[in-house]
Structure 1
Amino acid sequence: MTAPLLQEHPLRQSLNDEAHARPSVPVHTGSRLSALVLFGGDTTAHRAALQALTRQLGLPEPGSHPHYVGEHAGLTLRWDSHTEFTRYSLLLPDGPEDPFAESPLDRLPADWLDTLPGQLLVAIHAAVVPRQEEPVDLTRVADRYFAGHDLIGSELGDGRGLALTDLQLHPDRHLPSGASRLLLLDGAMSERQCGRMLQRLLEIETYRMLALLGLPVAKALLPQLADMEARLSRLTRAIRQPESDDRQLLDEMTELAAELEGSLAASSYRFSAASAYYAIIERRIAELRESRLSGLQPFREFVERRLAPAIDTCQSVSRRQEQLSLRLQRSTALLRTRVDVSSEAQRHGLLASMNRRAALQLRLQQTVEGLSVAVLTYYIVSLIGYAAKALHALGLHVTPELVTGGAIPLVAATVAFGLHRFQARQEEPRPPVS
């Protein structure tokens, strides 16, 4: 008898594959790599650009996965699709003596770069060269590969490699604004370790630029926040003034709350993303296992001095938004309470006025009812008097004056009773009409 199969979670396979989703590519000494990071752009359009490139380069067709690695004639193409960006990486196993004289971008079709969707955020050329001298002449390296710019970097992998960059954009014939450069000096790293280190360095630069996207947003919000804080302070002071118009203050606070919510909606995602990217950068730097080289600023120190203040600014603006929102909620609640109390007092006054008006109407109605009894009694008794005179004229022994006088109390009582019954029937609840 066959044992029943266990019911598997529908995401089991995909969750297991996530651990192997973006493996590093082995890189050996002498390799050159070019990476382009495109911000935004439709994923379908990026996938179409990838398919066009693989066909033109003779690489295997990509599938539907968010990452792709293909190799043909010594060229390795790697494609990674992320939430906010897409990265294209091209790797060549060897090159000229000057690793930055040519780049893997030279192997691309002539007009393919012009078809890429999104906006170019990061362009970097990386080269892996052997570490042939001890100690490394940093001045000569800077002059030869980085146009004499100041370098940052450190020894990696417990001293097995050395990474150097200047974070400057160097001229490139394929890219109008140029590309940054990264030099990895290989001392005793394996190809796998070299690939992992290179991938971490590329991710540090990618996420550094992505994290900095929050800084312009924060700077643009600073004057707006200052203006909103000043307006809230003015409104809060006005609340304490007894002669202030509460309705107008409440309208102004509602308008201010709408502006603040708009700024929160426009910036909260960007600030959250900046903090998340910064956390990734810190993890990648820790994975480098870097050690300081004399005369060189390491990556961690550079990030702490140059990137951390930008992230602190974003977080500071985010906290100010949240604090302003809380203050605005408290002030609005206080003002709304006062408006409610004032409205309740007005309602009580209105009800008291209505009660007085109802009492006056009741007294008037009673007066009218009394007059109505007198008037009706007068006319009915008059009719009875005419009838008595007519009977007297016919020869009957009827005294009109006695009949008229005796009818007065009887008629008055009858009329009063009839009006009372009519009023009672009018006040009875009527069944609803079906």
Structure 2
Amino acid sequence: MLQPDTPAVTPAAPDALRALPPDDPQRERLHNEVHARPPARIRLPALVVYVAVLNEGISRDQECAHLQRLPGQAGLQPEDLAGSFLRLRGEGYTLKWERHTEFSRYSLVQPLPAGAGLGAEQPPLLPGLVLPADWFATLPGRTVAAVKLVLVEQDLTDPQAALALGQRWLGGRTVVASHLGHNGHSIAVTNFRLQPNGFERMLVMAAPGTSETRAGRISARLLELETYRLMALRGLPAAKTLAPELAAAEADLADTIAQLERRHASEQDLLDRLIHVAAGVERANAQHQYRFSATQAYAELVRQRTAELREKAIPGTQTIGEFMQRRLSPAIATVAATERRLASLSQRIERASALLRTRVDIATETQNQQLLAKLTQGQALQLQLQSTVEGLSIAAISYYMVSLLLYGAKAAKGLGLPLNPEMTAGAMIPFVLWGVWKTTQRIHAKLHARGDAH
């Protein structure tokens, strides 16, 4: 019956009295992160069957249900998968489950089937699995990496002879191989080719006496290297698909800027075209930015894992690191160039938008100046009309006042005063005009003084 691993319990120290402030809520989790995925201990010779599946849309409950199909694991609960790592042990074999951000990994470590060691040529491996035949085929998710890794002991005194055995084991085709470690403790051989069953093969020949811990570390590095290589390459199809769209967007932007320079189109037409180009670029950013960033992160992990192998070349054979560098670097460079091209296009659209806004602001300012000029001209005409009306008003007021004086003179003559009404009224006309004009001037002076005070 498979049993899940349980963390080791540290014996209580004599000075167990706590002398610290309260822990940060995440302290224990962050502290134990370095122990979250311990490497397996592999006794040679061994077969490691490794499958990594994309887990988008796959819940832990689904993965737990699949693990429950293993012999003796019907009582496994989703809570057991909360730490994103689980190692189930059985009689002579182990199964490790790990969940990452984008993929989940399943690793079966078991004894090497009979007849599958060195000396054989492309020996069948899947028929010798200790798990049910369809268990790997029904894993929830989509396969991104699948490797059958065989680890055996072999005398490495003559690396060429060992390499010849490894090449024959892989079918006699061209292989890449590396002497691993500063002291050459093992040789890794592979051809990075997919077999009809969907798996690729790797062979590790370790020096006699290699510890189980070292074998586990070698296995982990090689399998992680292949997984991260494939995850890094997932950005390449997106970059190739995006290239024609970026070319079309760049052409549209260049044409829009040319029309902006020649002033052949209205601001509204230019704005509509610029918005169309900007919307396409932002959509591409939203769809692919995460994938491009993830590609760079996975590529860095590939470089780290390659460096950890501490490879030495075997004369006449390309190392795993050299193969990775020559095959992976162009793809990563393409993705990086597409990411920079997308960012550059966004910046150019922003600058074009600024130019268009400047053009619109200048046109608006010109229209405002023309409107102010018309308002000023209207105000001048209004002042002229007002002056004309004031002149007519002075004449009208003076006329009414002279008329009143005439009636007053006639009334005085009726009372017996020796007056000539017409002569009296005529003589008062200059004084009336002067008085009305003077009164108008005083009113203007008061209005101007009130306006200055405000």
The Cα shift of 1:246 comes to 5.1
Tell me the matched-pair count: 419
The Cα RMSD (Å) is: 3.6
Equivalent residue, structure 1, for 2:120: none
Provide the rounded CA distance (Å) in 1 between the counterparts of 2:135 and 2:391. Answer: 105
Equivalent residue, structure 1, for 2:60: 46
The Cα shift of 1:370 comes to 2.5
- Note closer, same or farther for the CA distance 1:328–1:63 as it changes in structure 2 (3 Å cut): closer
Equivalent residue, structure 1, for 2:226: 205
1:32-111 matches, within 5 Å, as: 32-42=47-57, 45-50=59-64, 52-54=66-68, 56-59=70-73, 61=77, 62-98=80-116, 100-102=124-126, 107-108=131-132, 110=134
The answer to which of 28-37 and 134-143 deviates more is 134-143
Provide the rounded CA distance (Å) in 2 between the counterparts of 1:163 and 1:352. Answer: 86
Cα displacement string for residues 60-83 of structure 1 (whole angstroms, at most 9, x for unaligned residues): 652421211121233312111212
- Note closer, same or farther for the CA distance 1:40–1:51 as it changes in structure 2 (3 Å cut): closer
Provide the rounded CA distance (Å) in 2 between the counterparts of 1:323 and 1:22. Answer: 40
1:28-427 matches, within 5 Å, as: 28-42=43-57, 45-50=59-64, 52-54=66-68, 56-59=70-73, 61=77, 62-98=80-116, 100-102=124-126, 107-108=131-132, 110=134, 113-114=137-138, 116=140, 118-131=141-154, 134=158, 135-136=160-161, 141-142=166-167, 144-146=169-171, 148-157=172-181, 158-172=183-197, 178-188=198-208, 189-241=210-262, 245=266, 248-379=269-400, 381-382=402-403, 391=411, 397=417, 400-401=421-422, 404-405=425-426, 406=428, 410=432, 413=435, 417=439, 421=443
Unaligned runs of 5+ in 1: 173-177, 430-434
Contact 2:413–2:420 (CA under 8 A) maintained in structure 1: no
Cα displacement string for residues 367-419 of structure 1 (whole angstroms, at most 9, x for unaligned residues): 22322343354456556656766x47976657553565437854884598479
Provide the rounded CA distance (Å) in 1 between the counterparts of 2:229 and 2:18. Answer: 54
- Note closer, same or farther for the CA distance 1:52–1:305 as it changes in structure 2 (3 Å cut): closer
- Note closer, same or farther for the CA distance 1:149–1:361 as it changes in structure 2 (3 Å cut): farther
- Note closer, same or farther for the CA distance 1:137–1:206 as it changes in structure 2 (3 Å cut): same
**Other structure's SS at 2:196 match:** coil
| Structure 2 counterpart of 1:6, one-letter code | P
Cα displacement string for residues 314-342 of structure 1 (whole angstroms, at most 9, x for unaligned residues): 11222223333344444443444344334
Residue identity (%): 34
Contact 2:401–2:432 (CA under 8 A) maintained in structure 1: no
| Structure 2 counterpart of 1:211, one-letter code | A
TM-score normalised per structure 1: 0.82
Cα displacement string for residues 265-316 of structure 1 (whole angstroms, at most 9, x for unaligned residues): 3323222211111111111111112222244321111111111110011112
Provide the rounded CA distance (Å) in 1 between the counterparts of 2:93 and 2:434. Answer: 120
Equivalent residue, structure 1, for 2:8: none
Provide the rounded CA distance (Å) in 2 between the counterparts of 1:395 and 1:375. Answer: 29
TM-score normalised per structure 2: 0.78
| Structure 2 counterpart of 1:310, one-letter code | A
| Structure 2 counterpart of 1:88, one-letter code | Y
Provide the rounded CA distance (Å) in 2 between the counterparts of 1:96 and 1:404. Answer: 145
- Note closer, same or farther for the CA distance 1:325–1:212 as it changes in structure 2 (3 Å cut): same
The Cα shift of 1:345 comes to 3.3
Provide the rounded CA distance (Å) in 1 between the counterparts of 2:243 and 2:391. Answer: 78
Contact 1:56–1:109 (CA under 8 A) maintained in structure 2: no
Provide the rounded CA distance (Å) in 2 between the counterparts of 1:112 and 1:242. Answer: 65
The Cα shift of 1:259 comes to 2.8
Contact 2:113–2:128 (CA under 8 A) maintained in structure 1: no
Cα displacement string for residues 21-53 of structure 1 (whole angstroms, at most 9, x for unaligned residues): 21110112232222221224246x135423541
1:16-35 matches, within 5 Å, as: 16-35=31-50
Equivalent residue, structure 2, for 1:432: none
